[in-house]
Amino acid sequence: MEKIFHDEESVRRFVHRFPERRSLRACYEAGPTGYGLYHLLHTLDVPCEVVAPSLIPKAPGDRVKTDRRDARRLARLHRAGELSPVRIPSPEEEAVRDLCRARVDLVEDLDRARRRLGAFLLRHDQVWRGGSRWTLKHDAWLRSLSFGDAALASTLSHYRAVVEVRTAELGALEEELLPYCDKDPFAAAVARLAAYRGVAEVGALTLASEVCGGGGSPGPPRSWASPAWESRSTPRGEGPAGATSPRLNSCSPARASSPGSRRVRDVGPLHQRDYSNCTLPADGT
């Protein structure tokens, strides 16, 4: 067993030491380094699989984790066919997914900025009682506030400016995402997902880029996490008696949207969520 760096030069030098590269088989755990090593090995004609860390079989009580032990265990399990590979997104899919994740980060930044502004105003007895917050009426109230103390006035101006900047950045980023909703390989999946109540186009694109395979189907591969689907009765006044409409469960990332949106609700970063308990029905509807 030999330990090498994962930079391109070291990997190429190691692979070229084997005369029959096509007979090699490689695998590694999915992690923060992405799929660069997979693409490099693919160009070197070395079959490679990226496996899901959460699906690697582990013995009860086995908590010792070292590079050498992990490498031996992965080689043994890979030879036995007991590892679950993840689907490797295309470069275009990965680029759109990163843009969607940048939007989720902006949603979180905006939410934090709003909470800081609200906490500051609450400390100084400035409480909004005119209904929902972060509406045009609420924004006009924020602009009308003023403090006699110069330090407090500067603090208010700073907090308000951060909220305005984050709101503008989020709006600009969502405008950049919208064209991808009508482009392959996301168009078909976005059209189907957006048909569900509470799922906007940007939310559908986020879900499609994270968990949906190519080909336009919202059903992910076996090794991918997936959202749960359910039906509920249409509330009174929204449809005919007894009518039902499909709805995304709260564990779905498609519900992530801008803070304050009435259509969809943000539920956190997509890549940090646990979908192990979520399933799709067999027919994919």
Give the model confidence (pLDDT) of 134-159 as tens digits.
999 999 999 999 999 999 999 999 99
Residue 267 and residue 227 share a domain: yes
φ, ψ at 247 (rounded to 5°): -150, 145
Residue 97 and residue 172 share a domain: yes
Percent of the chain with pLDDT over 70: 74
170 — pLDDT class (breaks 50, 70, 90): very high
How many domains in the chain? 3
Residue 108 and residue 47 share a domain: no
Residue 200 and residue 254 share a domain: yes
Residue 200 and residue 131 share a domain: no
Out of 178, 207, 234, a domain closes at 178
At what angle are helices 201-211 and 150-177 packed, to 10 degrees?
70
Bridge partners of 28, per DSSP, are: 50
- Tell me which residue range forms the domain holding 26: 8-80
Residue 206 and residue 174 share a domain: no
Judged against a pLDDT cut of 90, whether residue 133 lies above it is answered with yes
Distance CA 47, CA 229 (A): 35
Q: Please report the pLDDT score of residue 112 as a whole number.
A: 96
Tokens 């031996």, residue?
A: 72
Q: Please report the pLDDT score of residue 98 as a whole number.
A: 93
Distance CA 258, CA 242 (A): 32
Q: Please report the pLDDT score of residue 285 as a whole number.
A: 46
DSSP label at 26? E
Residue 172 and residue 106 share a domain: yes
- What is the average per-residue pLDDT within 235-255? 44
Residue 100 and residue 76 share a domain: no
Q: Please report the pLDDT score of residue 84 as a whole number.
A: 87
3-state DSSP assignment of residue 60: coil
Residue 75 and residue 126 share a domain: no
Average pLDDT, the chain: 78
For the entire predicted model, the pTM comes to: 0.67
**Helix, strand, coil percent values for the chain (each to nearest 5):** 45, 5, 45
Distance CA 120, CA 26 (A): 54
Q: Which two tokens stand for residue 5?
A: 């760096």
Out of 156, 178, 200, a domain closes at 178
Judged against a pLDDT cut of 60, whether residue 239 lies above it is answered with no
Out of 56, 80, 104, a domain closes at 80
Single-letter code of the amino acid located at 132: S
The more confidently predicted of residues 283 and 187 is: 187
